[in-house]
Amino acid sequence: MTQESTSIQTAVGPVRVRDATKPAPRQLVRFAFYRVDPSWRRLPAEVRRQHREQLEAVLAEHNRRILLRTYSLVGTRGDSDLMIWAVSEQFEKLQELFAALNHTELAGYLLGSHSYTAMTKRSIYVDTEHPNQGGTTDRLVLAPGKSRYLFVYPFVKTRAWWALGAEDRQRMMQEHIRVGHEYPSVKINTTYSFGLDDQEFVVAFETDSASDFLDCVQALRDTEASSYTLRDVPSFTCVRATIEEMLEALG
């Protein structure tokens, strides 16, 4: 029996996500949060404009090479002003982006407040596509939508969770998934960090309704699986913005 192949359009062109002889490529993901040093806002307006335009050009150039989304956190969090969500199949492509960012004038005033590195991976708990899922059915290729909000947080499960048998974990996750399905306006993107970074997972929820997301998270607190969460902070409320809008909000 032959296996059908499909592809989706990403920032770097069509990517094959299922093949009879070759597994789908897994993607590397970075969520990079920055805060601007207040001293930057005391610079002359013309200098700040030049700094913004320089950084905008760098991000726009790399947006043609990798999947890149930009968000503003001005007004939603005290320690971060912006977030860059970058996705590529190669670490080198991500390094090139952030190395180029480091060479801009504005980078001298940007403080990295938080950073999370992760990778896509097929879920061991979900075998079929569901309406709350981001990306392709096998979750190996992310496909961010156009939702207004992105809620991001890293999390770690307890050692007791991993000591449970596979059947117990599957049972609890089925309940967790069922509750999540009650909020179809909230789309989840799950990425994995085992050995790559300090956390085990990074989840990013896309939605146009902040209240739906709040209610979803509160409902998930009542599930049995939630009791095995060791850490799920910090949590970030990100507002989608064009590159220009994100930088203009800095001041």
Write out pLDDT tens, residues 50-68.
999 999 999 999 999 999 9
- pLDDT above 50: residue 234: yes
Non-local CB neighbours of 115 within 8 Å, separated by 6+ positions? 30, 31, 32, 33
* Token duo for residue 165: 């048998």
Q: What is the pTM of this model?
A: 0.86
195's torsion region: left (phi>0), alpha (psi -120 to 50) or beta?
A: left
Q: Is residue 41 part of a domain?
A: no
Determine the structural domain holding residue 182 and report its residue range: 123-238
How far apart CA 203 and CA 118 sit, in angstroms, is 10
Nearest to 58 by CA among 108, 109, 97, 1: 97
Question: What's residue 134's pLDDT?
Answer: 52
How far apart CA 61 and CA 100 sit, in angstroms, is 10
Q: Is residue 161 part of a domain?
A: yes
Q: Is residue 75 part of a domain?
A: no
CATH number at residue 169: 3.30.70.1030
How far apart CA 60 and CA 8 sit, in angstroms, is 21
Q: Is residue 132 part of a domain?
A: yes
Compute the mean pLDDT over every residue in the chain, rounded to the nearest whole number. Answer: 89
Q: Is residue 142 part of a domain?
A: yes
Share of the chain above pLDDT 70, in %: 85
Question: What's residue 22's pLDDT?
Answer: 60
Q: Is residue 184 part of a domain?
A: yes
Total structural domains within the chain: 1
Q: Is residue 23 part of a domain?
A: no
Question: What's residue 163's pLDDT?
Answer: 98
- pLDDT above 60: residue 185: yes
Task: Label residue 220 by pLDDT band (50, 70, 90).
Answer: very high
CB 207 within 8 A of CB 185: yes
DSSP string, 53-88: HHHHHHHHHHTTTSEEEEEE-TTT-SS-SEEEEEEE
